[in-house]
Amino acid sequence: MDYEFINDIISLYIEAGILTFRIALLGIVGAVVVGLLCSLIKYYRVPVLQKIVGAYIELSRNTPLLIQLFFLYFGLPKIGIMLSSESCAIWGLIFLGGSYMAEAMRSGLEAVADIQVESGLSIGLTDFQVARYILLPQAITVSVPAFLANIIFLIKETSVFSAVALADLMYVAKDLIGLYYKTDEALLVLVLSYAVILLPISAVFTIAERKLRYAGFGN
């Protein structure tokens, strides 16, 4: 193991890690927004939109992110829509993650007892107020484990972004292996880089989930 080489390349991984995390953060935030909207549409069975959301979820969950990225990066220019590598990565993550977040949130919404919704309506709350004060607080808490799993899944999925010429962690690792043939060193730092990103996120969400459940929001 060439530790001097590892020391020399750490700065490259730090730069790539920041880029990877930034894109993952934007993609995940977008995925949560899309997932929330889709879950509410399915929960309230909005005509027409419900079928569109269902088709989107099936398409998103049953096609690989790599294929989705290829469509965005190589397919859209054929019809005059040009996207940068970063934009493709973000929109690809939103498209994929939105469907997973929607299913996670839907299961949380369905876990809320109907009697609570009916009670809210019976005391004069509007549908919006019921969703805001009764449905969503409980549904989000119930969905925390699924959200955590989806977030970790989406961050790991960023490893395919190098396919659209984005200089992320995987891109740097493959580039270094091709240039210097230091496979063990490059892959070791790659694994450690993902661990540095994922382990704190996992710890924070685990603590947050325990506190929410202890406070009684999950009951």
The chain-wide mean pLDDT, for the chain, equals: 86
Q: What percent of the chain has pLDDT over 90?
A: 30
8 A C-beta contact, residue 27 and residue 154: yes
Fold category of 3-215 in CATH: MetI-like fold (1.10.3720)
CB atoms within 10 A of CB 152: 17
**Does residue 97 have a pLDDT over 90?**
yes
Question: How many alpha carbons lie under 13 Å from residue 201 in its C-beta half-sphere?
Answer: 21
Residue with tokens 């449905």: 135
Instruction: Give me 82's structure tokens.
Output: 């040009």
What confidence tier does 59 reach under pLDDT thresholds 50, 70, 90?
Answer: very high
Q: Which two tokens stand for residue 96?
A: 């994929």
Is the confidence at residue 150, as pLDDT, over 50? yes
pLDDT of residue 216: 52
Tokens of 116: 């609570």
The secondary structure of the chain in percent helix, strand, coil, rounded to multiples of 5, reads: 85, 0, 15
**Higher per-residue confidence, 34 vs 216:** 34
Q: What is the pLDDT of residue 215?
A: 59
Instruction: Sketch the domain layout of the chain as residue ranges.
Output: 3-215
Region 20-36: mean pLDDT is 93
Task: Specify the higher pLDDT residue, 50 or 142.
Answer: 50
Q: How far apart are the first and last CA of the chain?
A: 51
What is the C-alpha separation between 162 and 3, in angstroms, rounded?
25
